[in-house]
A and B are shown apart, each in its own frame.
Chain A
Amino acid sequence: MTHALEISGLKKVYDNGFEALKGIDLVVKEGDFFALLGPNGAGKSTTIGIVSSLVKKTSGDVSVFGYSLDKQLAQAKQQIGLVPQEFNFSNFEAVWDIVVNQAGYYGLPRKEAEQRAEKYLRQLDLWDKRFVASRMLSGGMKRRLMIARALIHEPRLLILDEPTAGVDIELRRSMWQFLTEINRSGTTIILTTHYLEEAESLCRNIAIIDAGKIVENTSMKALLKQLHREVFVFDCVNELPEDFSLPGFDSSRMDAHCVEVAVERGDSLNAIFTALTEQGVEVASMRNKANRLEELFVSLLAKK
């Protein structure tokens, strides 16, 4: 069976001599929702750039749905829709023209292009803005414009490089929903993000890249299983003394009414409450610190 994306031994040395990718192997299955994570400068955009042929590879092989970039470039390109990290549309053109022209570049007849443009601009809430010059759009609208443009030729593989950077929470959630639907309808999706929460709620499989190497490539489930430590945040009714700490626990006082306590998997939460009670602390509320994944992420990167 052919995969949506197959990368092997991919290396990239930029013209200035910088080795951005040091031999990457990656397989993304058809229908997958795949996250490519990594810190700034890890090589995510470089990888995506090579797949979408905006960056020249130094060595290695890439194929998209079985079409090799070296031998069947045009067919490979036809499979891909790209939403790049940086805005890359003409400031002076109207939303409608940008999307319809892109369809033309893929050989779509005008009429069909216009029908699809309407469909995607409506779905992405840009219909009212269709005659507006793109420079007049807000940041979030610009992102959505790039998504509409990437979908116009109905690619089988949609690649999004940080699609939700600078997008507010409400819009981010509606984008997630949109992407989930696109994925359900059969489009394979690869996205990079710095919001681990995003990867967690959207993606089935994940690769972590650091300094040009893949350091982890697994399913989201398996990754989350590795979590053996959780941090809870306690908001307290009474004031906590400056030097407050919870005996027997890894705790840290955040402010006068708030303390964070780390819990190893398997530990009982009751013990924390007992200890807090002994210290005369009355708990008003408790929550799970949301960035468990982030800690895992940091520890994964530190290990290598």
Chain B
Amino acid sequence: MNYQQQWIAFSTLVRKEIRRFLRIWMQTLLPPAITMSLYFIIFGTLIGSRIGDMGGFTYMEFVVPGLIMMSVVTNAYSNVVSSFFGAKFQRFVEEILVSPMSNSIVLWGYVIGGVARGLLVGLIVTLLSLFFTKLQVQHVAVTIGIVLLTSIMFSLAGFINAVYANNFDDVSIVPTFVLTPLTYLGGVFYSIDLLPEFWAKVSQLNPMLYIVNAFRYGLLGVSDVSVGLAFGMVGLFTLAAYGYCLYLLNTGKRLRQ
């Protein structure tokens, strides 16, 4: 395939991926909007007013970046894992496997689909948060950079999950048992300065901590960890996941018998 044909194949796939999550918006866009609004009301307004300041900001201001990031992460991941697993399950992944599209184009097609949903949900949640607090962006490049990189990384992770999944349970295991707890413990709701020293150390092993803090740094200008380190880690994970995804596609593991 020449470049133009590859571009057509890629955009076909991206377009299809985006249309998929827009078509089922009741399952993809509405739930995070509702959940996050509830978080804003309960943690920000009802409980938050009693908690007082956190890291020099009102509690509402403090939790919003983490909640936005949480939505981006889960939605990027879920989009790719459910879409690609669905394609495997109903076998229409074969439409792609028989086509002359290169593996990296297939991968990027799915990843950009996941990024698109992550960003769209992130945007919806951001807009909703404006009803509860004012938003500021201290470091635009950091904010955009970390959101993009993170959504790419979790889209790739979702892809790996989909390749290995055998049933629909396998699709929801990671979001439920790994992503959500890690995010909750990753400093969305508190600054790790509040933790006893031991737990603060343990928290530093949690990759979500770096992502949430880097994003909070972008918006508020404060972070519990080094932002450079955060980018380094996310970048490294992204590269590793990308390499692994391509390896899976190139060897046809669990995709071609």
Interface residues of B toward A: which range? 20 to 34
B7: nearest residue on chain A (CB-CB)? A107
Report if A84-B257 is in contact (Cβ < 8 Å); known contacts: A56-B252, A78-B100, A107-B5: no
Q: Give the A interface residue count (CB, 8 A).
A: 35
A73: nearest residue on chain B (CB-CB)? B100
B94 & A88 in contact (Cβ 8 Å cutoff): yes
B91 & A106 in contact (Cβ 8 Å cutoff): no
B1 & A107 in contact (Cβ 8 Å cutoff): yes
Q: How far is the CB of B104 from chain A (nearest CB, A)?
A: 12
A49: nearest residue on chain B (CB-CB)? B257
Is A109 an interface position by the 8 A CB rule?
Answer: yes
Chain B, 25-68, CB within 8 A of any chain A CB: none
Is A217 an interface position by the 8 A CB rule?
Answer: no
Chain B interface mostly helix, strand, loop or mixed?
A: helix
B256 & A77 in contact (Cβ 8 Å cutoff): no
Contacts of B94 in A (CB 8 A): 54, 84, 88
Chain A interface mostly helix, strand, loop or mixed?
A: loop
Q: How far is the CB of B67 from chain A (nearest CB, A)?
A: 31
Which of B1, B4, B12, B257 sits near A101, CB closer than 8 Å?
B12
Complex: A78 Cα to B99 Cα, angstroms: 7
Is A47 an interface position by the 8 A CB rule?
Answer: no
Interface centre among B2, B94, B100 (most CB of A within 10 A): B100
Is B197 an interface position by the 8 A CB rule?
Answer: no
Interface centre among A56, A77, A92, A105 (most CB of B within 10 A): A105
Contacts of B172 in A (CB 8 A): none
Complex: A20 Cα to B88 Cα, angstroms: 23
A56: nearest residue on chain B (CB-CB)? B256
Which of A52, A89, A109 sits near B98, CB closer than 8 Å?
A52
Report if A53-B8 is in contact (Cβ < 8 Å); known contacts: A88-B94, A89-B95, A105-B13: no
Contacts of A78 in B (CB 8 A): 1, 100
Q: Mark B230-257, 1 if CB is under 8 A from A, else 0.
A: 0000000000000000000000100011
Contacts of B95 in A (CB 8 A): 88-89, 98, 101-102, 105, 149
A77 & B12 in contact (Cβ 8 Å cutoff): no
A86 & B91 in contact (Cβ 8 Å cutoff): yes
B90 & A106 in contact (Cβ 8 Å cutoff): no
Complex: A106 Cα to B105 Cα, angstroms: 12
Report if A77-B8 is in contact (Cβ < 8 Å); known contacts: A56-B252, A88-B90, A89-B92: no
Is B16 an interface position by the 8 A CB rule?
Answer: yes
In the complex, the 5 A-B pairs of residues with the closest C-beta atoms, listed nearest first: A107-B5, A104-B12, A105-B99, A88-B91, A74-B100
List 5 A–B pairs whose Cβ atoms lie within 8 Å, in order of A's numbering. A54-B256, A78-B100, A90-B86, A90-B92, A106-B100
